[in-house]
Amino acid sequence: MMDKDVSRRTFVKSAAGAATVAAMAAPTIIPKKAFGANDQIRVAVLGMHGRGKSHVDGFEKLENVQVVTMCDPDMQVLRERNKQFGEKYSKKYHLEQDLRNVFDDKNIDVISIATCNHWHALATIWACQAGKDVYVEKPGSHNIFEGRKMVEAAQKYDRIVQHGVQLRSSKAIREVVQLMRDGIIGRVYMARGLVFRWRGDIGRKGFSAPPEYLDYDLWLGPAQYRPFSEDWVHYNWHWQWDFGNGDVGNQGIHETDLCMWGLDVGLPSRVTAMGGKFLWDDSKETPELLSSTYHYPDEGKIIEFEVRPWATNYEDGVKVGNIFYGDKGFVKVFGYSKYEVWQLVGKEKYEKVKEGNEGGDHYANFIEAVRAHDKSILPGPVETAHLSSGLAHLGNISYRLGRQLEFDPDSETFPNDHEANAMLTRDYREPFVVPERV
């Protein structure tokens, strides 16, 4: 794990890169008695409206892994999921509204977090403090301060923390990253992340009383109080600054992570972003369209990232994914498991020289690391949660301030910029506070 004094700028080149290489070559032998006589890992899933459903399926299919608890502030959602998965897996689940009770349960080994973004970091920190290993959805954090605290908590409490960027477990994607390291397209100088998704008009439903089956205070958690609205409960919180981070911090985290991984960089020293709402007069606060540029002048590299909301074209066949540019060709990555390598064969002429389409199992890789209690074999260690989320946060800060920003990746601050630095964290609502000292 990275020492606090090690430059944040060099993380991807050292810790993340080493972890990824180790994961590719790591043995699958696991200590037989790591988890007692029956070798069973017991999992609690937090957040059951959306991604939590995939978490249950992902863990239930693994040998000697059992989801025992489902937690959500919405009891109606819990009852529906209990029926759905109870019938599917012929079992009953313990249902819990308050995630703090889950952390207190000594029989749970792993906490799997699929809550709203604004809960990810605090839930991870509390789980680490309770001695649990953690699988946390992207984005790992809601702001840059939280991401650093997640890293510190995982280090301090010696916990296994995996970030839900599934492409890091993809055999094809690991292969193409190594091919770029080996020079298959020459010197790689630019990465382009693309998120072209259909995001329509969500309307304006206004305020209302929360339903009796929802503990709205728990749903709000670390966010400052605002009256309940169906404008953000449940899915459309993604487009509200208090709870989400827009699509660059939603689907985009898979691509920001791969941009940094493929370019072999950490956080940038210069960022600028521009965009806005051009289509819908609805309750979204985050931009529909966002174009962000992340510059690494000392390394001669740059990341361009684009979010588009509607009726858009593919970019050379890529709609959600990445394109890497080198002086001898380019690489296209489609989604989580497919890539193509195109090499220059003449002026403005390219030919496809290699492709791959083999996925992986991010849940299984995490459980392997949990059983071995070996962080080095994690495909998506906690540092990736901090850095890939951090890249999105930097773009959002530049957009919200309406200007280019200079950033120091070593101190993780904006030099002499009080206005920007204030946006590295948030005002937390007691008792749901991400602590300065974890």
Q: Which residue has the tokens 């100088």?
A: 189
So what's the pLDDT on residue 227?
A: 98
161 domain residue, yes or no: yes
User: Omega before 139 cis (within 30°)?
Assistant: yes
Tell me the pTM: 0.92
> In this predicted model, what pLDDT tens digit does every residue of 242-266 receive, in sequence order?
999 999 999 999 999 999 999 999 9
Separation of alpha carbons 283 and 204, rounded Å: 5
Pair (281, 311) in one structural domain: yes
One domain, residues 271 and 315: yes
Whether residues 354 and 369 share a domain: the answer is no
pLDDT of residue 35: 54
Q: Identify the CA nearest to 379 among candidates 56, 26, 20, 13.
A: 20
Single out the residue of 183, 190, 172, 187 nearest to residue 334, CA to CA.
172
Is 78 within 8 Å of 56 (Cβ atoms)? no
The CATH number of whichever domain residue 46 belongs to comes to 3.40.50.720
Q: Are residues 217 and 350 in the same domain?
A: yes
Given a cut of 90, is residue 332 above it in pLDDT?
yes
d(CA 301, CA 187): 10
Amino acid identity, position 185: I
- 248 in any annotated domain: yes
Encoded tokens for 331? 């690489």
| Rounded to 5°, angle at Cα 47 from 46 and 50 | 140
Distances (CA, A) of 205 to 174, 202, 217, 231, 256: 44, 9, 20, 6, 32
301 & 396 share domain = yes
Please tell me the predicted confidence (pLDDT) of residue 374: 97
Do residues 249 and 333 both lie within one domain?
yes
Residue 307 has pLDDT above 60, yes or no: yes
51, 116: one domain: yes
Name every residue whose Cβ is closer than 8 Å to that of residue 275 and which is 6 or more positions away in sequence. Answer: 287, 288, 289, 290, 291, 307, 399
Low-confidence winner among 33-42, 65-74, 216-225 (lowest mean pLDDT): 33-42
Give the Cα separation of 55 and 63 in Å (integer).
15
Overall average pLDDT of the 259-287 stretch: 98
334, 221 contact by CB (below 8 A)? no
Return the CATH number at 282. 3.30.360.10
CB-count burial class (<10 Å; 0-12, 13-18, 19+) for 183: exposed
Domains identified in the chain, total number: 2
What is the spatial distance between Cα 413 and Cα 408, in angstroms, rounded to a whole number?
6
302-326 mean pLDDT: 96
- Rounded to the nearest 10 degrees, what angle do helices 117-129 and 144-156 cross at? 20
The boundaries of the domain holding residue 320 are 171-359+391-417
Prior bond of 431 cis (ω within 30°): yes
User: Do the domain assignments include residue 316?
Assistant: yes
How far apart CA 8 and CA 391 sit, in angstroms, is: 13
Contacting residues for 28 by C-beta, under 8 A, at least 6 apart: 368
Is the pLDDT confidence value at 157 over 90? yes
Q: Are residues 64 and 211 in the same domain?
A: no
Residue 24 is predicted with a pLDDT of 39
Other CB atoms within 10 A of residue 39 CB: 15
**pLDDT beyond 60 at 15:** no
Give 3 or 279, the one with higher predicted confidence. 279
Percent of the chain exceeding pLDDT 90 equals 90
Looking at the fold, whether 64 and 120 belong to one and the same domain comes out as yes
Strand 320-326, strand 188-196: pairing: antiparallel
pLDDT score of 39? 87
Residues 144 and 131 in one domain: yes
Residue 386 counted as domain residue? no
Cα distance between residue 251 and residue 238, in whole Å: 10
Whether 151 and 291 map to the same domain: the answer is no
Residue 190 pLDDT more than 80? yes
Which residues have C-beta within 8 Å of that of residue 68, sequence separation ≥ 6? 42, 43, 44, 93, 94, 107, 108
Q: Are 319 and 194 in contact (CB under 8 A)?
A: yes
> Does a structural domain hold residue 430?
no
Q: What is the reported pLDDT for 22? A: 39
Asked whether the predicted pLDDT for residue 339 surpasses 70, the reply is yes
Looking at the fold, whether 366 and 258 belong to one and the same domain comes out as no
- CA 303-308-311 angle, 5° bins: 145
For 293, residues 6+ apart whose C-beta sits below 8 A from its C-beta are 271, 272, 273, 302, 303, 304, 305
Residue 427, in any domain of the structure: no
Q: Let me know if residue 329 belongs to a domain.
A: yes
| Cα gap 221→344, rounded to integer Å | 52
In a domain? residue 2: no
